[in-house]
């Protein structure tokens, strides 16, 4: 993995601090902290902060909102791993939340992260009220029953079925695409992007989201288990529809290259200082976990 465009350690320090600051039962804080600090690439907060920087705003503007997105993403992983959902024992090479804290605490840690993420945006010191309201409305749409949660439901309903490419795209656009798109758009809004720039950043995010998911599917076939931190080949054994299954492995790799190229083209067209975002895009194309 290349050196990330923004300091991941800085993000993780803030994440840890927000949890430490909570007046809450110790086991709840431990469970929230455990999954937040279990690694991960921090792609969403990196996208958000790098987009803010690309528009010339001071480094760290929107940090609290960036961490809110990471908390929300982490809640979705905790709930997704539950026995009633994907029933995963490992996440990023470590025992999943419910394996360590039990199912009840895992459900509540997820609920707590989701709820707190909205509070963090409402109290982000770098944003005015009008912007906070817009971000919260967009996050609720991106993560809720019209966004990520819709994707989770569609994904479950699609298991053990052969999906069309259109159905597969609906699932990914919602399950992972919407929150990636939120991260970029939130950064653009915090950075004060023009209407035209917002449009271009949105298109960038859509191509990036597709590239991200196609890479995920390819890694499930070609990746090294140690680096991914979960079992390779799990999609196939669960009879999940994937891009390689629908397009062949070579076809999927072509699509990955195409969407990465288009993502970079959209970035260039924003006219912003997108060096860090170009790097992140390259990282997403070539990541090994």
What are the residues binding a copy of itself (CB under 8 A)? 22-25, 27-29, 32, 75, 79, 82, 84-85, 102-105, 107-108, 110-116, 118-123, 129-130, 132-134, 136-137, 139-141, 143-146, 149-150, 152-154, 156-157
Cβ at position 103, least distance to a copy of itself in Å? 4
Supply φ then ψ for residue 288, to 5 degrees: -110, 5
Nearer to a copy of itself, 101 or 212 (CB): 101
Distance of closest approach, residue 257 Cβ to a copy of itself, in angstroms: 32
Size of the chain, expressed as the number of residues it contains: 289
134 versus 253: smaller Cβ distance to a copy of itself:
134
Q: Which is nearer to a copy of itself, 140 or 278 (CB)?
A: 140
CB 45 within 8 A of CB 183: yes
Smallest gap from residue 267 Cβ to a copy of itself (A):
29
The total of other beta-carbon atoms located within 10 Å of residue 209's CB is: 24
The least CB distance from residue 162 to a copy of itself, in Å, is 18
Burial class (CB in 10 A: 0-12, 13-18, 19+), 104: exposed
Shortest distance, position 79 Cβ to a copy of itself, whole Å: 6
CB-neighbour burial class of residue 169 (10 A; exposed 0-12, middle 13-18, buried 19+): middle
CB of 271 to a copy of itself, least distance (A): 29
Q: Which of 38, 154, 20 is nearest to 90 (CA)?
A: 38
Nearest to a copy of itself of 118, 204 (CB atom): 118
Rounded to whole angstroms, how far apart are CA atoms 199 and 270?
A: 9
Q: Which is nearer to a copy of itself, 8 or 82 (CB)?
A: 82
Minimal distance, residue 156 CB to a copy of itself, in Å: 6
Sign of the dihedral defined by the CA atoms of residues 94, 99, 103, 106, in that order: negative
End-to-end CA distance of the chain: 9
**Which residues are registered as beta bridge partners of 94?**
91
CA dihedral 50, 56, 61, 65 (to 10 degrees): -50
Residue number, 103 or 196, with CB nearest to a copy of itself = 103
List residues bridging with 91 in a β-sheet: 94
Phi-psi region of 42 (alpha: psi -120 to 50; beta: other; left: phi over 0): left
The residue (of 178 and 230) whose beta carbon lies closer to a copy of itself is: 178
């Amino acid at each position: 993995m290349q050196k990330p465009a923004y300091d991941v350690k800085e993000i993780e320090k803030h994440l840890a601090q927000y949890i430490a600051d909570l007046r809450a039962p110790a086991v709840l804080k431990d469970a929230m902290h455990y999954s937040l600090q279990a690694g991960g690439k921090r792609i969403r907060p990196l996208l958000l902060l790098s987009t803010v920087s690309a528009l010339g705003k001071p480094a760290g503007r929107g940090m609290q909102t960036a961490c809110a997105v990471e908390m929300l993403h982490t809640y979705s992983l905790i709930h997704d791993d539950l026995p009633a959902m994907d029933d995963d024992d490992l996440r990023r090479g470590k025992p999943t939340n419910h394996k360590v804290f039990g199912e009840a605490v895992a459900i509540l840690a997820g609920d707590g992260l989701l709820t707190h993420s909205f509070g963090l945006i409402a109290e982000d010191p770098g944003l005015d009220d009008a912007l906070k309201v817009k971000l919260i409305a967009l996050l609720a749409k991106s993560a809720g029953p019209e966004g990520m949660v819709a994707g989770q439901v569609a994904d479950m309903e699609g298991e053990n079925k052969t999906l069309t490419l259109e159905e597969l795209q609906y699932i990914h656009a919602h399950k992972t695409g919407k929150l990636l798109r939120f991260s970029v758009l939130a950064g653009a809004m915090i950075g004060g992007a023009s209407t035209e720039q917002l449009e271009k950043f949105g298109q960038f995010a859509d191509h990036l989201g597709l590239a991200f998911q196609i890479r995920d599917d390819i890694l499930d076939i070609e990746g090294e288990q140690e680096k991914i931190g979960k079992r390779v080949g799990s999609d196939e054994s669960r009879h999940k529809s994937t891009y390689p299954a629908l397009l062949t492995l070579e076809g999927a790799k072509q699509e990955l290259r195409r969407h990465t190229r288009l993502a970079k083209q959209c970035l260039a067209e924003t006219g912003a200082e997108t060096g860090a975002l170009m790097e992140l895009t390259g990282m997403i194309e070539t990541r090994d976990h």
